[in-house]
Amino acid sequence: MRETRLDAALLGSLLDAAPDATVVVDENATIVLANTQVTNVLGWSQSELLGQQIEVLVPDRLRVVHRDRRAGFLAAPAVRPMGVGRELFARHKDGHELPVEISLSPLVTDSGVLVSASVRDISDRVRLQEEGNRMREDIIATVSHELRTPLTSIIGYAELLEDLEDDQLGPRARQIVSVIQRNAARELRLVDDLLTLAFLDDQRHQLTLKPVDLVEVARRVLADRGPLAEGAQLEVRFEAELIRPVLGDFLRLVQVIENLLGNALKFSEPGGVVTLRVADAGSMALLEVTDTGRGIVPEEMPHLFKRLYRGAEAVVAHTPGAGLGLPIAQTIVQAHGGRIDVTSEAGVGTSFLVYLPHA
């Protein structure tokens, strides 16, 4: 009897040493042990919780769901680490909800299964995340207004100047206008890329996924990029073998193809060939962009999808770009549950292979 009391005292001391609020629940969902941290975190004293059903710590709106999930857990008890799983909330004694992380540790005993639940209040973390999100949105709004708006105006006025007759705009002035258009468009693309990354990094934003005809997406990009290829004296070939739609966000997939095709055109020499192919690849759809350009040296391959990374040859040749196109493409593809592979040989060409799940 004395040994049992010592064991209980030792267990109580161990629970009280834990930094999180901890309760031990039996198979009937009755709280049989609680540590001192339950008062700091949940507002209850230890004695008030003993004998209560665990649902007393669950918000009213979640109690029915919690009972079902509790039954499922007891049917196949397993350790669940802190922070794993869905967004969770606990009910404070005064009735307010607080965001929490919970770890579960089952213990099978002769008298049944006991479950130790450690509850961590993450209110401060959530508040800081929300403040960070608001700051991010303010920065994005500022960038969009203060940079994108004037750049769009510059491009618009440059186009008006370009439309002037030759007697109103001389050859030298027309050349300057062309430089203004080109550089303003490049800066606008950079701003758009930064805004895209900010959107994709924000976990609250979700892609709009629905069945999409990848061939239609590819044709749209080719229609827009065709003049660029002709101006660079490049041949663009299109091969379409895909019949089944993919599950995707149409506009984001346009971005993927634009970035990959743009890279292929940018790093190909006049007279080269760029091939865009769409096909079935088993359970996935395949989008392949192949060029006969400069290729990529092996030591640069591991860095291709790092943000702001630019290969040595691109830097030396002053090839336009900020090193964001490939990271954006990869982020979008991964958000679709797909992947990007790349093969390349210096001086021969490069192939980017995008795999996307079918709808």
Range(s) for CATH 3.30.565.10 in the chain?
Answer: 206-359
Task: Please write the tens of the pLDDT for every residue from 279-314.
Answer: 988 889 999 999 988 888 888 888 888 876 666 565
- Mean predicted lDDT score pLDDT of the chain: 84
Q: What's residue 298's pLDDT?
A: 81
pLDDT band (50, 70, 90) for residue 5: very low
CATH of domain 2-121: 3.30.450.20
Q: Where in the chain is the domain with CATH 1.10.287?
A: 123-205
Q: Name 80's Cβ contacts closer than 8 Å, sequence gap at least 6.
A: 102, 103, 104
Thinking of the domain 206-359, which architecture would CATH place it in?
A: 2-Layer Sandwich (3.30)
Please list the residues that pair with 289 across neighbouring strands: 276, 352
> Which residue matches tokens 């962009």?
289
Give percent of the chain above pLDDT 90.
36
Would you identify the CATH topology of the domain 123-205?
Helix Hairpins (1.10.287)
Residues 6+ apart with CB under 8 A from 120: 20, 21, 41, 82, 100, 101, 102
In whole angstroms, what is the distance from residue 61 CA to residue 186 CA? 51
Cα distance between residue 119 and residue 82, in whole Å: 9
Per-residue DSSP letter, 308: T
Query: pLDDT tens-digit profile of 102-136?
Result: 999 998 888 888 999 999 999 999 999 888 878 87
For residues 267 and 291, the answer to whether their CB atoms sit within 8 Å is yes
User: In the chain, which segments carry CATH 3.30.450.20?
Assistant: 2-121
Q: What is the mean pLDDT of residues 150-167?
A: 86
